[in-house]
Amino acid sequence: MRLAKRVLVVLVLLVLVGGFAVWRRPVSCYWESMYVLDWFEGVQSTNVMVGGHRVHYEVEGPAAGTPVVLVHGLGGRAEDWRNLAPLIAKAGFRVYLPDLIGYGRSEKPADFSYSVHDEAKVVLGFMDALGLQKVDLGGWSMGGAIVQHVAAADPERVQQLLLFDSAGLFVLPKWDIALFTPRSDAEVAQLDALLMPNSPKVPHFVARDILRVSDHRAWIIHRALESMLTGQDATDKLLPELKMPVLILWGADDQITPESEGETMHTMIPQSKLVVIPGCGHLAPGQCAVQMARPVVGFLKK
């Protein structure tokens, strides 16, 4: 009885401490739980040096599988692909998910430009560091612009290209870009409404921690946005030159990069295929992964 009481007290204390941690740092607790789940599911998490900087990445799928590299978007991280990547790996592909420099668990150097062009060099350096001579390459949002630059700069390295709700065209946003670094609960809600249809209400304690994380990385987001808004890395002239097969996937309700941009890219790339997923927004690769998996896997297997 005495032992049982002690065990009960310890369990109650653990619950209380865990509850306080979730209340105080819900975002951090969420990501830590994701890391644990990845470990249980056999996802490998490691680092490699690229251009003198530490780049973190995850990898899953059979070692002998055709390599697929997926690049996240602005403010994102490798784990953003957590819903789609396992479905691709299950189909027999070796899926690599790098954290771009400045994001996720990669190094965040103060002297890096964070431009699309320089992040494209990081992706090529990542492929070099892992000995990936030829890959299927995909990018989401800003990551889509990055992989377009990779494919244009070194087409022999890219077997097939996948663009998910991609940036790249020189189109000035019609929404307030300041929302990418929100400074109030209301701005968090506005950003969520832009990113996804029927966005859920975010509890205050979660919004408070989102604001903390946003404030910590705001300088990186600002530097990347400032570079993108100049149009210096726009891909309008690059797209017609691409020769590899291209799959363009889009959420029909995307407000960040509207479907019309996907249609323009499709027109500019004669050998491309456009797939639009109804009821999905800019976060389609995460929230509509099941609907996206079938065309993605079918494309990769051709």
Q: Determine the pLDDT at residue 39.
A: 83
pLDDT at site 211: 87
- What is the pLDDT at residue 260? 97
- Candidate from 81-85, 87-91, 199-203 with smallest mean pLDDT: 199-203
Q: Which residues contact 12 (CB under 8 A, 6 or more apart)?
A: none
**Range of lowest pLDDT (30-39, 170-179, 243-252, 263-272):** 30-39
CB 246 within 8 A of CB 150: no
Is there a contact between 197 and 281 (Cβ–Cβ < 8 Å)?
yes
pLDDT of residue 61: 97
Question: Which is more confident, 295 or 17?
Answer: 295
Hunting for tokens 């889509």 — which residue is that? 144
What is the DSSP annotation of 9-34?
HHHHHHHHHHHHHHHH-HHHHHHHHH
Q: Is the pLDDT of residue 209 over 80?
A: yes
CA-nearest of 10, 98, 8 to 53 is 98
Q: What is the mean pLDDT of the chain?
A: 91
Mean pLDDT of 75-89: 97
Q: What is the mean pLDDT of residues 242-252?
A: 98
pLDDT surpasses 80 at 7: no
Whether the per-residue pLDDT at 187 is higher than 60: the answer is yes
The pLDDT, as a whole number, for residue 25 is 74
The 3-state DSSP class for residue 160 equals: strand
pLDDT band at 248 (very low <50, low <70, confident <90, very high): very high
Instruction: Return d(Cα 242, Cα 6) in angstroms, integer.
Output: 67
pLDDT of residue 9: 44
Nearest in space to 120 (alpha carbons), one of 95, 101, 138, 147: 147
Q: What is the pLDDT of residues 159-181, one digit of tens each?
A: 999 999 999 999 989 889 999 99
Amino acid at 176: D
Q: Each residue of 13-47: pLDDT tens digit?
A: 444 445 545 556 777 777 778 788 888 888 999 99
**Angle at alpha carbon of residue 183, lines to 177 and 187, rounded to 5°:** 65
Task: Give residue 1's pLDDT.
Answer: 59
pTM beyond cutoff 0.85: yes
Q: What are residue 92's phi and psi, to 5 degrees?
A: 105, 10
